[in-house]
Structure 1
């Protein structure tokens, strides 16, 4: 069996990047200290520089805009269902009573 890839939290990645930026040490030194590959730290630094606080979105790889879009679509679906139920109820109540 192969080794599973370790999962690091968003906070860990941000702290690793901040440690590199503030310590004055090389990426290799920081990576060894943290017990990670220097290529991982290199990737995290690049992603943090490009995306800032939006970096490392977690599982699903969604940015805040994508999360908001997903939430709005879900809300829109619920509203459509409610509207359809109300239309059916109106047609039932609009029928003449015997």
Structure 2
């Protein structure tokens, strides 16, 4: 009989602690007012025409072929000096 009350008391204590934790968590975490539609609108807004034209005019089939051949000629294993060299080449090309 004594162990039965101990088990019931432990279960009630666990339920009470869980309930208090849920209530504290509900009121302690602040909710933001950002809506999904505003995030979607930000991501799908029209591009700046000048930047778009600059990007489109810089894409050339010859450059793609040359860059692809150059970058795939080196090993792609992280930590190798050749991988660092490839990253530096890409960085330099993007800065041009």
Using structure 1 for the length normalisation, give the TM-score.
Answer: 0.28
Which structure has the higher relative contact order (CA within 8 Å, separation 6+)? 1
Using structure 2 for the length normalisation, give the TM-score.
Answer: 0.29
